[in-house]
Structure 1
Amino acid sequence: MPDIYTKAERSAVMARIRGSGNKGTELRLIAFFHAHRICGWRRGIPLFGKPDFVFRTLRLAVFVDGCFWHGCPRHGTQPASNAKFWREKIKRNKARDKEVNRTLRAKGWHVMRIWEHELARKNEGRLLAKFKRTGLPQ
């Protein structure tokens, strides 16, 4: 199905999507932390790759990756219009994610990446288990 917007309109729509403060990602994880009394996290810590959440004492950097933007193998979609651009964009995002992981690990940090779909209520038990394995204080 062709896009209903012109190329310029689509660009303007996509430019308005912010990388932080999204209700479906970072804000949902904050609610999860509060609900399960997970403490010790901070946001906005100047660390390579700009993690969404940092647990300094554990040296844990947490990233919340959108399924579309980071090419989720289960939910990532490929737009039909401007397909080459999007294929390359998502490929660059994945390469950047790998580089950030490598760099932080080389500096002694643990890296946790959470897919957007993992924040769904039905996945809450698995997500809690994932955090408990890190040894987070509760």
Structure 2
Amino acid sequence: MVDVVDSKTRSRMMSGIRGKNTKPEVLIRKALHAGGFRFRLHRKDLPGSPDIVLPKYRAVILINGCFWHGHQCRLFKWPKTRPEFWRNKIEGNIRRDQQKLSELKRLGWRVCLLWECEIKGANEEHLDRVIESISKWLKGEESSLFIPDSRTQAISDQLTNIG
């Protein structure tokens, strides 16, 4: 399939996709702050510059975009143009994700991984359950948290087995 826009327009459109302060990140941050949790954002001294860092709990929260991190869910579709480029790009992102998770755990950080699809379009009740799970995890002793669903159990298993 041929792209419907020229390469300059496509480049401009793709460069507008943010890597920080995405809607899912902002939703989670607002809810955590309302729950009394205080955090730092995008600490460059930690592997992968985690989205949310809670030093008091020695915990980080990573909120991954489904497309960029190759999450096989309803939001992910392989692009039809330049398939080899995109496969290499996304597979490289997945490898880096696994490396940064291992490194964070090795450094003694607790890791929560959330996917965009768990938050995007979620109703208030679902978002409340996600925040409740994070809150319980932060106050507990578990080293990892993954908000599982049937589509993403394999990723959850990978996270549990890292480090």
Q: State TM-score, norm by structure 1.
A: 0.85
Q: Quick one: distance in 1 between partners of 2:52 and 2:29? A: 9
* Cα shift at 1:83: 1.5
Unaligned runs of 5+ in 1: none
Q: State TM-score, norm by structure 2.
A: 0.73
* Cα shift at 1:10: 1.6
Unaligned runs of 5+ in 2: 141-163
Matches within 5 A, 1:6-25: 6-23=6-23, 25=24
Matches within 5 A, 1:21-100: 21-23=21-23, 25-35=24-34, 37-46=35-44, 47-75=46-74, 76-100=76-100
Q: 1:132 aligns with which of 131, 135, 138?
A: 135
Higher helix share: 2
Determine which structure has greater relative contact order: mean sequence separation of CA pairs < 8 Å that are 6+ residues apart, divided by chain length.
Answer: 1
Aligned partner of residue 4 in structure 1, secondary structure: coil
User: How many residues are matched?
Assistant: 135
Two-structure CA RMSD over aligned residues (Å): 2.0
Partner AA of 1:43 in structure 2: L
Q: Quick one: distance in 2 between partners of 1:106 and 1:135? A: 18
